[in-house]
Structure 1
């Protein structure tokens, strides 16, 4: 019988779920039986991608963003007790799942309570350094303490200088627990004719997703360019409509989004790390609007701006005219490596 491997991405926007898609496919290709566990839109998305697999619901961290970026850190701190309670409930549920489904291995993408001392456990993160302003030393220390509970930590990036995550995914002290497995993307590069001048990709927790959607629609409806606007709202059925030169979708599956990315000249999106990995895979040009107050996205936007890869601006300062800057930047370069899945999954063969 194939071994059951539990794969559990964090429900924080769509990025953690989408970057688990190539891992789930690789597990199946290597003779394992993936069982998916998450909550909210992350679980809804993976149910649509893998309707044939068992899916389980985990306790929600239910983290809400502040409407103003300057309050981001303090709102997260205020919600910390609720988050710790969810992690405690998560750990309890994982024990039952391991017993009920005979789990032989665990892959957790940033879910801090999804591990077991009795089952080989992997933690996936691109943030070994967790940026939080003047408290970065503390948030990093606490995060690494959780990571140490796992057998190994997979970082979806390369170890060399030409990497995507910068100081987020690279620490000064060497650590045998950490393995750089190369960027993860569900998208394949294809040679397709350009159909859209601009692809808008939205994702991330509320209320910031909606706030950005409203601002972008107000600006972009002035344009005569052909625009594809994917809102990133996971609903039971896909909906689309065209108003003037803008085609709107509530969501797209991986195959549809892959086609859309390949058929688009440039991309306007958040500077989330999963999106960065997709852009690099396709060697695209992009314009970033980081989520206000989210240090990780603000850092990545500044990093790629300073490297003359992609321009960016604050959410409240976006104007359609700023998109012209894209063509003065060199765009992303593919830094992907061939993943040795059989070697990575060998951890699950030990028991």
Structure 2
């Protein structure tokens, strides 16, 4: 009989995409007879707590990622925040050794958290950003990201390789030092023919503030002129689920 293993699964709290694409991975760990130990912070951690109420959770240091109100200054804002992000990466790496010992971790799956590499147990990082396209600073931002990716045993890429890739050149890199595994797209949804059409348009938001909130306000104004049924999911993980029906608009804070 196979002995159950504890696997640390740790998505980055940068919007909800990293957390949601870890859901099928966590389910696969459970189906394999192993035990996920889930680690993150903020809304990503809150979402996974709701999804996996019976599992064990660890709160990690927050990267504190925020976007400026003016999108033109994104690179400047990220540069300004880089010491805070670097410190969070350093602190989560310092925590990792005690987490491995306390929870008897047999392996680590990190979704874009850069400090969870180990020389004690196997570690993989999930990322599609093997090239970080940042305009005239692309070479520098890519090398900084690769510096951390190379600390992991494997890089799992949630995409397909080659011309049919969803993320294009972002997920393509010939660096031979990276052990790349293309997983294909990760989703918790399954294709089915057993459905009924209820809405004409769905708006699904996520991402760091204040830009998420700015976009929400703009889209709520735009849909007033739309003549079909609209499902609006704001991507705000709060204590209670909120629901509002107004004319053709159905609004949820999260689903």
Which of 55, 58, 62 is equivalent to 1:56? 58
In 2: Cα distance, 1:197 partner to 1:175 partner: 47
In 1: Cα distance, 2:166 partner to 2:106 partner: 32
Give structure 2 stretches of 5+ with no counterpart: none
Please give the root-mean-square deviation of Cα atoms over the aligned residues, in Å: 1.1
4+ long deviations beyond 6 Å: none
Q: Tell me the CA shift for residue 160 of structure 1.
A: 2.6
Q: Tell me the CA shift for residue 222 of structure 1.
A: 2.5
Give structure 1 stretches of 5+ with no counterpart: 253-351
Q: Tell me the CA shift for residue 174 of structure 1.
A: 4.7
Length, aligned pairs only:
252
Q: Tell me the CA shift for residue 140 of structure 1.
A: 0.6
Partner of 1:188: 190
Partner of 2:211: 208
Report Cα offsets for 1:257-310 as digits up to 9, x if no partner.
Answer: xxxxxxxxxxxxxxxxxxxxxxxxxxxxxxxxxxxxxxxxxxxxxxxxxxxxxx
SS at 2:225 equivalent? coil
Matched, 1:247 2:231: no
Partner of 1:99: 101
Partner of 1:219: 222
SS at 1:62 equivalent? coil
In 1: Cα distance, 2:152 partner to 2:210 partner: 33
- Listed as ranges, the matches of 1:11-160 within 5 Å are 11-160=13-162
In 2: Cα distance, 1:104 partner to 1:175 partner: 24
Structure 2-normalised TM-score?
0.96
Report Cα offsets for 1:39-88 as digits up to 9, x if no partner.
Answer: 00000000011001001100000011011111001100000001111111
In 2: Cα distance, 1:119 partner to 1:13 partner: 28
Partner of 1:335: none
Q: Tell me the CA shift for residue 193 of structure 1.
A: 2.0
Report Cα offsets for 1:104-160 as digits up to 9, x if no partner.
Answer: 100000000112111100010011001111011011111111111101100011113
Partner of 2:239: 236
Partner of 1:255: none
SS at 2:61 equivalent? coil
Q: Tell me the CA shift for residue 244 of structure 1.
A: 1.2
Report Cα offsets for 1:307-340 as digits up to 9, x if no partner.
Answer: xxxxxxxxxxxxxxxxxxxxxxxxxxxxxxxxxx
* Counterpart contact for 2:150–2:177, Cα < 8 Å: no
Partner of 1:199: 202
